[in-house]
Amino acid sequence: KSNEDSIDVIYSEEYGENSMCFETSGSEGRCYRAQCIYEDFNLKLNVDGTWYTCEEDFQQIEVSTLNGAFGTTVTCPRLSQACPDMFCPVNCAGRGECVFDHEGVNGTMARPKCKCFDENDKSASCSETFTLNGKYLRDSGSLTDTIKTNFFEPLIAVFVDHPDTWTTSSWAWAAALFVVFLLMILCICSSFWPEKEKRRPVPKNRRTRAAL
């Protein structure tokens, strides 16, 4: 979207890497250049060359554009969402709790601080803690492949795969098919073999007469 658009010019919107979009009066969203100020613990936005400061969540700021010709009300976002690292770096990496009522020097309220679940982790963002909660493992030694095959898959592989890729089951199927093939050939061939003529037995009376 170009800043030369008439609406953008009226409200002095800016779009870019350092821009944030804010809710304005009329529930319209407007995008302005914005910066999180770590030392001052606030968020600043630039509207038509003027810097305005968001010091608390949902603070409403009256801004003007085109030398006061147009005005609108900008609602500040929740600062912990707009500038999370300004509060607790990387939201305590999911390994701690962001404590907002952290007590500073002389009993004053200090910047929010990560309270790590691991008491031995003293890093600002609880980044030294490595939690093994089932999603993460130290190594892959416990991961093994489980090959699930159908009973007829090795048989299908005999017809569609190269023999170099056959498994033991496929070779067993191939051997069984070869035996069946040989038996079929044997049965077919045997049906064409001529039958041997059976000699008729000579009657006893004929054998007696031939002896005389």
Tens of pLDDT, residues 122-136: 888 888 776 555 555
Looking at the predicted structure, is the pLDDT value of residue 185 above 60?
yes
| Cβ atoms within 10 Å, residue 68 | 8
pLDDT > 80? residue 182:
yes
Query: What ranges in the chain are assigned the alpha helix state H?
Result: 6-11, 79-82, 84-87, 153-160, 168-190, 204-211
Q: In the prediction, which pLDDT does 59 show? A: 92
Average pLDDT over residues 199-209: 59
pLDDT in tens, 153-169: 888 888 888 888 888 88
- Using CA atoms, how far apart are residues 184 and 176, in angstroms rounded to an integer? 12
Give this prediction's pTM: 0.47
Nearest 5°: CA angle at 42, between 40 and 47?
Answer: 120
Average pLDDT of span 143-154? 68
Average per-residue pLDDT for the chain? 77
pLDDT > 50? residue 3 = no
Pairing of β 42-47 and β 96-99: unpaired
Q: Which residues lie closer than 8 Å to 126 by C-beta, 6 or more apart?
A: 92, 93, 95, 96, 114, 116, 117, 118
Which tokens belong to 25?
């009066």
pLDDT band, very low/low/confident/very high, at 99 (cuts 50, 70, 90): confident
The pLDDT value given to residue 47: 87
Count of alpha carbons within 13 angstroms of residue 148, beta-carbon side: 0
Query: Which of left, alpha, beta for 125 (phi over 0: left; psi -120 to 50: alpha)?
Result: alpha
Better-scored residue on pLDDT, 108 or 21: 21
pLDDT grade for 71, boundaries at 50, 70 and 90: confident
